[in-house]
Amino acid sequence: MYNTLRALLRKPKLYEKTQEKFWNDPYISKGMLEAHLNPNTDAASRKPESIERSVEWICSLLPRGAKLLDIGCGPGLYTKRLSERGLRVTGLDFSERSIAYAKANDAKSEYVMQDYLEMEYKNIFDMVTLIWCDYGALIPEDRHNLLDRVYRALKPGGLFLFDVFTPWWNFGQKESTSWEICEQGGFWSPNPHICLNAQYYYGESIGMSRTVIVEDGNIRSFNIWNTSFTKKSLSEKIQLHKLIPVDYFSDAEGKPYDENSPTLCAVMKKQEEPH
C-alpha cells in the first residue's frame, strides 16, 4: 500500500488521466445528481436564476423551432427550459442517472445517454451548447476530438456556444494538500474512508485537483483538470477546426465581454460550405 500511495501522492504528469469511474459510478453519480438539483449551490449546475438568464439569451440567438443539441446536459436543467421556449432540443450526457432523471421530468425533449466524445451526428443542429466550463476539463486530444464532432453535428452556419474559465479564475491560487477522515462515508464512498486532496498548477492556465480515496483494501484516485483560456488562445484553438468566432461574452448569460472576468463564453460558427 505504501508504494501505491506514494505514487498517487506525487504531482501528476501534465494531463495525466485516471481510469476510475466518476460520472457513472453507482454511488458518486447519486451525489452528483443531488448537487445538480440543489438550488443553493453551483458546484455541479449553476443556480436556477443563472440558468434562466442563460436560456433566455440562448433563445434570443435562434428562431423558434431551431434544433439544439445540449451536450453534457446533466439532468436536463437547461434542456427542459429550452424546449419549453419553443426549441427542438436533444440532451446528451454520459451519466445514466442524470439521463434517467431528465427523461422522467421532461417529456418534450429527446435524451441520449452517450459520451459526447463518441457522438456521430452530421449536419443536424442549428446550435450545440456545452455549458459550465466542461470544455476546459478535457485534455487537449479530447478537446480536438470534441471540436471535430461538434463541427460535423452542426448545419452549415450553425453555432457552437460554450464557456470556459479564464486565468483570472485561479489568480493567486497556490498548490496545496489536505486530508479528511470520513468515518460515516461521504461524497466519494458510502464506506468509512480517508480522503486525500491535492491542488496542483502547471503555469497560469492549467490546474488540476487530485482526490485519493483510501478504504480498507481499496485505493482509488480521481484527476479533474481545468485548463483556462483567454479570448486569443481560445480563438486560435477553435479555428483549427473550421469554427470561426462570432462573438465573445463574459459568461453564458450573454454579459458583455470583460477581459477581467473569471469566465469567458464563446459563440462560434461553422463555416458555410462552398457551393
The model's pLDDT over 130-188, given as tens digits with 9 standing for 90+, comes to: 999 999 999 999 999 999 999 999 999 999 999 999 999 988 899 999 999 999 999 99
What pLDDT does 273 receive? 66
What pLDDT does 239 receive? 82
**Distance from C-alpha of 77 to C-alpha of 46, rounded to nearest angstrom:** 9
DSSP 274: P
Contact (CB, 8 A) for 50 and 249: no
Tell me the domains of the chain and their CATH numbers: 2-22+169-226 (no CATH), 38-165+229-270 (3.40.50.150)
What pLDDT does 59 receive? 98
Q: Show the low-confidence residues of the chain (pLDDT under 50).
A: none
Contact (CB, 8 A) for 42 and 50: yes
**Distance from C-alpha of 47 to C-alpha of 214, rounded to nearest angstrom:** 32
Q: What is the mean pLDDT of the chain?
A: 95
**Distance from C-alpha of 262 to C-alpha of 275, rounded to nearest angstrom:** 41
What pLDDT does 19 receive? 85
240-244 LR contacts (CB < 8 Å, sep 24+)? 240/144, 240/147, 241/144, 241/147, 241/148, 241/150, 241/151, 242/151, 242/270, 242/271, 243/147, 243/150, 243/151, 243/160, 243/268, 243/269, 243/270, 243/271, 244/268, 244/269, 244/271
**Distance from C-alpha of 74 to C-alpha of 106, rounded to nearest angstrom:** 13
Contact (CB, 8 A) for 270 and 252: no
